[in-house]
Amino acid sequence: MISELCIHDLDSGETRVILRHEGHIEAPNWHPDGWLLINGGGRLFRVPLDAPELIALDTGFAQRCNNDHGISPEGTRIVISDSSRTEKSCIYLLPVTGGEPERVTPQVPSWWHGWSPDGARLAYAGARDGGPVLLHTCALDGTDERCLTPGFDHVDGPDYSADGNWVWFNGERNGSVDLWRVHPDGTGMERMTQGDSVDWFPHPSPDGASVVYLAYPPGTQGHPGGLDVGLRLMPQDGGESRELCRLHGGQGTINVPSWSPDSRAFAFMRYG
């Protein structure tokens, strides 16, 4: 497999490949200091934008990291989802420079996806007591877990808006997977897309204007890799979306927040 780490520029509409890797790497995050965080083979890597290469990050005992990872709002910590000690995915925190992970979620499976702008809470997908995977939030020490999406068949990809007023997510009801948003207290549920595509992984831009998301072909089950998919952009207040580009990918393309701090570009993966 060939993995291409790409950046799409909204002003020009152009996509450029910054790193081409023989192997499988996934899910970029964008750090304010000018580097990307990705995963591959259970490990995490930094990719400097001024001289792109894979630089391994020390994650201590966590050697089974999946593609649900991210960077804290102030840029000093990393959140990971790892199954080295729990078999099922568990959320941990560690310094942005690397180090020994500190466990957050008492219950598993839990897959991280969003960090509140004030740094106080995490949003994640998780299954509890044999039920479906739903949207949960908790404090940074793992306390005060709240489920925001009872009544859905499956939920994934939660991410906070920059003002902290909304948590966006993809939710399945009656066989249809669309984008939704809800206030952090669980009120104000709104369906934001309802077309034929199977919509996943919404990421609101830092400037509050747009949401980028992954659109699978109609009838897609789950969020597989190896498909021809589209990256689309829509207004955060709702409305028509437009396709930015098409690519071969899916799983691993934009699972986690990947916007540049100035909202003029975002990073993603494509595969060949």
CATH number at residue 180: 2.120.10.30
Helix/strand number for the chain, H first, E second: 0, 23
Domain membership of residue 210 (yes or no) is: yes
pLDDT at 210: 98
Domain membership of residue 196 (yes or no) is: yes
pLDDT at 88: 98
Nearest to 201 by CA among 178, 219, 226: 178
Domain membership of residue 146 (yes or no) is: yes
Confidence label for 232 from pLDDT (cuts 50, 70 and 90): very high
Domain membership of residue 231 (yes or no) is: yes
CB 43 within 8 A of CB 24: no
Mean pLDDT of 131-145: 98
Alpha-helical (H) ranges within the chain are none
Confidence label for 257 from pLDDT (cuts 50, 70 and 90): very high
Mean pLDDT of 130-154: 97
Domain membership of residue 24 (yes or no) is: no
Could you read off the pLDDT of 54-104 as tens digits, one per residue?
Answer: 999 999 999 999 999 999 999 999 999 999 999 999 999 999 999 999 999
Mean pLDDT of 195-213: 97
Domain limits at 76? Answer: 69-263
pTM of the model: 0.97
Mean pLDDT of 259-264: 98
Distances (CA, A) of 43 to 96, 108, 219: 14, 20, 32
Domain membership of residue 63 (yes or no) is: no
Domain membership of residue 5 (yes or no) is: no
Per-residue burial over 99-116, b if 16 or more Cβ lie within 10 Å, else e, is eebeebbebbbbbbbbbb
Mean pLDDT of the chain: 97
Query: What's the total number of domains in the chain?
Result: 1
pLDDT at 184: 98
Domain membership of residue 11 (yes or no) is: no
